[in-house]
Amino acid sequence: MAEPEAAKPSLSDRLTDAAFRALLAVARALPYPVRVPVAGWIVSRLVAPLAGWRRRIRDNLALVCPDLPRAEVERLVRAVPDNVGRTMIELYSGEDFLARVRDLPVTGPGAEALAAAHRDGRPVILATGHFGNYDVARAALIARGYRVGALYRPMKNPLFNAHYLAAISAIGTPLFPRGKPGLAAMVRFLKSGGMLGLLMDQHMRHGAATTFFGHTAFTATSAADLALRYGAEIVPVYGVRRDDGIGFDIVAEAPVPRSDPETMTQAINDSLERVARAHMDQWFWIHRRWK
């Protein structure tokens, strides 16, 4: 039976992709220490207003941090897209990015748990979120020989998805797309003793009614479900951007205690909330997290 034809990109898809590729070309022509802040500036000052991100950031902050001073809100309106822009160009910088992060130490109370699991070949779920640069830890762990895979959500724009997948694959594989085929391969990888990175901070309509920043945020219990079923530890891990805007610290928190899926998922949310409150400009406040 013939394979169904892939959906053809729309005109909007083509224009968006062309604009993104043009920005990439400009940024990647610059030396890495210049490229990263320039990409941050472009996204903060040009892309964010056009994409409506500034309003979304203000709306999210008004909902969950209503007492935040106006000056701090306006700082975050600029700083959050700046971090998004830096993260994106870092992911598209290939070896330049890997050279910066591959030798970073893993710090925090979960570091030894990761090392022990690697030595023993035991499965681990690396729970993280859209914070700092969420691929720093994956890149650094792979560079030191850890078997690390990740689940990703394919982009709606097929043109964008193709080069985004190529970019994050250059950081390391395997990568598992959301959906049945990806889920089956992901489970096999985890059962074999692999470490699996999951981004846990996106709204899931049928998820558990957990809280994040004091408000209901429906969250997938998949990390806890997998951990309980396959004997994996859950270790929250973050790539925290340093004050220079280019360097990172990799922080691994203590493994999440085993209990029930909802309690463990709430613990993951609480972990991300703590690190986000400590670095408000590094969480992606552009998300529609509270629906």
Give 137's contacts (C-beta < 8 A, 6+ positions apart): 106, 126, 128, 197, 237, 238, 239, 250, 252
Residues pairing with 125 in the sheet: 196, 234
Q: Where are the beta strands (DSSP E) in 52-199?
A: 106-107, 124-128, 148-152, 175-177, 195-199
pLDDT digits (tens, 9 = 90+) for 62-77: 999 999 999 999 999 9
pTM summary value = 0.92
* Highest CATH level, class, for 102-282: alpha beta
Question: Does position 192 have pLDDT exceeding 50, yes or no?
Answer: yes
Tell me the residue length of the chain: 291
| Helix, coil or strand: residue 128 | strand
The Cα 41–Cα 91 span in angstroms is: 16
pLDDT digits (tens, 9 = 90+) for 228-250: 999 999 999 999 999 999 999 99
Range from 15-29, 205-219, 243-257 carrying the lowest mean pLDDT: 15-29
Give start-end residues of each CATH 3.40.1130.10 domain in the chain: 102-282
